[in-house]
Amino acid sequence: MKLRSNIAVSDNGFVFDPNTGDSYNLNYIGQEIIQMLKSNLTEKEITKTITGKYDVDDNSFEQNLFDFIGMLNHYDLLEKFGN
């Protein structure tokens, strides 16, 4: 899973999709997850990093990550499988 290459992400957590002109604002952890996706980390690696850094259990974070990735897919911000 990887963020589409043309998606712009600012240091402030502002995400811009040039295909649609839509923009989104992320919280701090959302920004961290986006950066990890851009670095090609797996869901397991992202979970390990975040749960090691913040006071959150694996199961809770995995559900939140699943929801976040679902939102990214819904807004077509991730590359399609095979691309």
At 5-23, the pLDDT tens digits run 999 999 999 999 999 999 9
Q: pTM of this prediction? A: 0.87
At residue 55, φ and ψ (nearest 5 deg) are -85, 80
1 in a structural domain: no
Task: Flag whether 22 is in a domain.
Answer: yes
Residue 3 lies in a domain: no
- Indicate the pLDDT class of residue 81, thresholds 50, 70 and 90: low
Would residue 82 count as lying in a domain?
Answer: no
Backbone phi and psi for residue 16, each to the nearest 5 degrees, phi listed first: -125, 130
Q: Is residue 24 part of a domain?
A: yes
Is residue 81, in this structure, part of any structural domain at all? no
27 to 11, 24, 33, 80: CA distances (angstroms): 11, 10, 10, 24
Please give the tally of structural domains in the chain.
1
pLDDT tens digits, one per residue of 40-67: 899 999 999 999 999 999 999 999 999 9
Measured between alpha carbons, how far is 59 from 65 in angstroms, rounded to an integer? 10
| Structural domain for 44, as ranges | 8-74
| Dihedral-angle region of residue 13 (phi above 0 means left; psi in -120 to 50 means alpha; beta otherwise) | left
